[in-house]
Structure 1
């Protein structure tokens, strides 16, 4: 299967990031417009009522700064996911939200945990580790791009700041790693040259036959079988001239 059948532009590359960003901004707009606070719909660890936050917490943000900090990474990583892992993208999103949310519910501090950052860590972790595991040059390059742009996020899976849900970040990071290990994603087979194949035999290579053991070019006097020959026919005129 050729690479362009796997890595190609589709509507999802634009629509998925757009819908994700629109969803979190719409929820925040509703909160501001109607004076509502949805924080109570976040994940509250080890409380049955807090389980509703597994589905709802990614859409809830505490401030404009919190919302803005999550918007660009969510859009960029979602676009990466739907371009390079199109067939697995929806599963990564659904499983990522559920598993990371449940893990946060189990390990987090007693507080309401909100925000899309857990999902962002799922996406960054999955894209990085899947590229490394796949060993396809484009996916490995994508992993390096993610590290270059968002590598500093790694610090926030540790309790470096009191008001940040590092537990949600850690849960997302672990979830992305597990999904990269377990989800089967087809990647294009890289085209190999004849000399890269395991059954390659130098003696059968028509090009190498033009060189001796010391690497010197061997001139050959053999004419090609399909050599084009040009023959000229001269017609005499009435006076016998050619």
Structure 2
């Protein structure tokens, strides 16, 4: 059984802080670029439902935001929930990120209104929430269960209303897809961990 030394814990903290700062910071960098150079029309590269070219938004949409308020609102969720996804290992963060991006993007592309453009990282935020709650269910690990309960108590109500089509201009399709992608990522992660234990 491995025990973490203070040095190894410090190294883990630093690597996670740097990764999360670069990840979220890159979104802010793109936002400031779009403000400074509006002629680039970066937000047009979001998800455009049932358009072949609109599929590019599955990759680009999380880095595109309509306003300062939009990216600021997503940043807190990205930082808090993204941080929780990084433990016990960084692979969980990438698993949740990929699952949320694919789920949010595909659902927006399949079910979004014609000629609409879906942008923003809220699908990732919802995906991280779905991943953390589902991870507690699938792993039955005490720490993961506690984290899941904290997420439900802190974000549950806003996530519930966020997946309902009640707010004009809000991509509830991305939110639902993000949650589904996060849940599937947690299921895949739990399956991979069980296979490792069985070897």
Shorter chain as normaliser: what TM range?
Answer: 0.7 to 0.9
1:85 deviates by 3.9
Paired residues for 1:151-170 under 5 Å? 151=156, 152-170=158-176
Matched, 1:125 2:108: no
What is the aligned partner in structure 2 of residue 64 from structure 1?
Answer: 68
- CA–CA distance in 1 between the matches of 2:140 and 2:95? 21
- Residue ranges of structure 1 left out of the alignment (5+ in a row): 188-242
Would you tell me which structure has more helix in proportion to its own residues? 2
1:115 deviates by 0.1
Task: Count the aligned residue pairs.
Answer: 186
| Structure 1 residues 2 and 51: alpha-carbon distance in aligned structure 2, compared to 1, 3 A threshold | same
- CA–CA distance in 1 between the matches of 2:172 and 2:117? 13
- Which structure is larger by alpha-carbon Rg, 1 or 2? 1
What is the aligned partner in structure 2 of residue 196 from structure 1?
Answer: none
| Structure 1 residues 3 and 185: alpha-carbon distance in aligned structure 2, compared to 1, 3 A threshold | farther
**Over the residues paired in the alignment, what is the CA RMSD in angstroms?**
2.2
Whether contact under 8 Å (2:134, 2:183) holds in the other structure is yes
1:133 deviates by 1.9
**What TM-score comes out, normalization by structure 2 length?**
0.85
Matched, 1:135 2:137: no
- CA–CA distance in 2 between the matches of 1:165 and 1:17? 24
**What TM-score comes out, normalization by structure 1 length?**
0.70
What is the aligned partner in structure 2 of residue 84 from structure 1?
Answer: 88
Aligned partner of residue 29 in structure 2, secondary structure: helix
